[in-house]
Amino acid sequence: MYDLIIRKGKLVKPDGILEADIAIKDGKYAAFLAPGSAAEAKEVVDAEGCCVFPGIIDCHAHLNEPGFEYREDFATGTRAAAAGGTTTLMDMPLNNDPPLTNRAAFELKLSRIQKKAAVDYALWGGIIDDNTDELVDLKECGVAAFKGFTCPNGDLFPAVNLGHVRRALELLKPYGALCGFHCEEYGQILERERRLKAGGSGDPIRDFLDVHDLWAEYVATQNVIDMARATGGRVHICHVSHPKVAQLVREAKAEGLPVTAETCPHYLAFTEKIVFEKGAPAKCTPPMRDEAAKEGLWEYVLDGTLDCIGSDHSPAADGEKDNALGIWEAWGGLNTIQYFLPLMFDLVVHQRKLSPCLIARTMGEMPAKIFGLRDRKGAFEIGLDGDAVVLDPQKAWTVTRESLLTKGHISILEGISGKGAAVRTIVRGRTVAQDGAFEEDAFGYGSFLRPAQY
Ligand SMILES: [Zn+2]
Handedness of CA 49, 51, 52, 55 (dihedral sign): negative
The answer to the question of residue 123 being in a domain is yes
Residues sharing a CB contact under 8 Å with residue 406, sequence separation 6 or more, in sequence order: 72, 76, 77, 80, 313, 315, 335, 337, 338
CA of 31 to the centre of ligand 1 (A): 37
* Ligand 1 centroid, distance to 62 Cα (angstroms): 6
Residue 308, beta-bridge partner list: 262
Within a domain: 351: yes
CA 267 to chain centre: 13
Q: Residues lining ligand 1 (ion), CB within 5 A?
A: 312
pLDDT for the residue numbered 454: 62
Which 8-state DSSP code applies to residue 183?
A: -
Q: Looking at the domain assignment, is residue 16 inside a domain?
A: no
- Spatial distance between the Cα atoms of 304 and 294, rounded to a whole number of angstroms: 16
Query: Measured between alpha carbons, how far is 240 from 331 in angstroms, rounded to an integer?
Result: 20
Q: From CA 145, how far away is CA 298, in angstroms rounded?
A: 26
- Ligand 1 centroid, distance to 153 Cα (angstroms): 11
Examine residue 37 and state whether it is found in any structural domain, yes or no: no
CA–CA distance, 321 with 408 (Å, rounded to integer): 9
Give me the domain span that covers residue 308: 53-370
Distance 99 CA to ligand 1 centre (A): 14
If we measure between CA atoms, which residue out of 153, 225, 141 comes closest to residue 190? 153
Alpha-carbon separation of residue 77 from 99, 198, 264, 273 (angstroms): 18, 36, 18, 28
Of the candidates 290, 208, 278, 280, which has an alpha carbon nearest to the alpha carbon of residue 244?
A: 290
Q: What is the tally of structural domains in the chain?
A: 1
Annotate 100-158 with DSSP letters as a single string: S-SHHHHHHHHHHHTTT-SSEEEEEEE--TT-GGGHHHHHHHT-SEEEEESS---SSSP
Is residue 112 assigned to a domain?
A: yes
Cα–Cα distance for residue pair 428/446, rounded to 1 Å? 9
Q: How far is the CA of 352 from the centre of ligand 1 (A)?
A: 26
Burial 330-343 (b: 16+ CB within 10 A, else e): bbbbbbbbbbbbbb
pLDDT of residue 452: 82
Tell me, yes or no, whether 8 lies in a domain: no
Q: How far is the CA of 425 from the centre of ligand 1 (A)?
A: 24
Contact 454, 372 (CB under 8 A): yes
Q: Is 432 part of any domain?
A: no
CA–centroid distance, residue 336 to ligand 1 (Å) = 12
Ligand 1 centroid distance, CA of 147 (Å): 9
Q: How far is the CA of 416 from the centre of ligand 1 (A)?
A: 22
Per-residue pLDDT of the chain (454 residues; tens, 9 = 90+): 999 999 999 999 999 999 999 999 999 999 999 999 989 999 999 999 999 999 999 999 999 999 999 999 999 999 999 999 999 999 999 999 999 999 999 999 999 999 999 999 999 999 999 999 999 999 999 999 999 999 999 999 999 999 999 999 999 999 999 999 999 999 999 999 999 999 899 999 999 999 999 999 999 999 999 999 999 999 999 999 999 999 999 999 999 999 999 999 999 999 999 999 999 999 999 999 999 999 999 999 999 999 999 999 999 999 999 999 999 999 999 999 999 999 999 999 999 999 999 999 999 999 999 999 999 999 999 999 999 999 999 999 999 999 999 999 999 999 999 999 999 999 999 999 999 889 889 999 999 999 986 6
How many residues in the chain? Answer: 454
| Structural domain contains residue 96 | yes
CA count, 13 A, side-chain hemisphere, 374: 10
| Residue 427 · residue 446 · CB < 8 Å | yes
CA distance 151 to 64: 20
Report the pLDDT value the prediction gives residue 212, as an integer from 0 to 100.
98
322: domain CATH number is 3.20.20.140
Confidence at residue 436, expressed as pLDDT on a 0 to 100 scale? 86
For residue 405, give the nearest of 322, 340, 332 by alpha carbon. Answer: 340
Q: How far is the CA of 256 from the centre of ligand 1 (A)?
A: 26
Measure 231 CA to ligand 1 centroid, in angstroms.
25
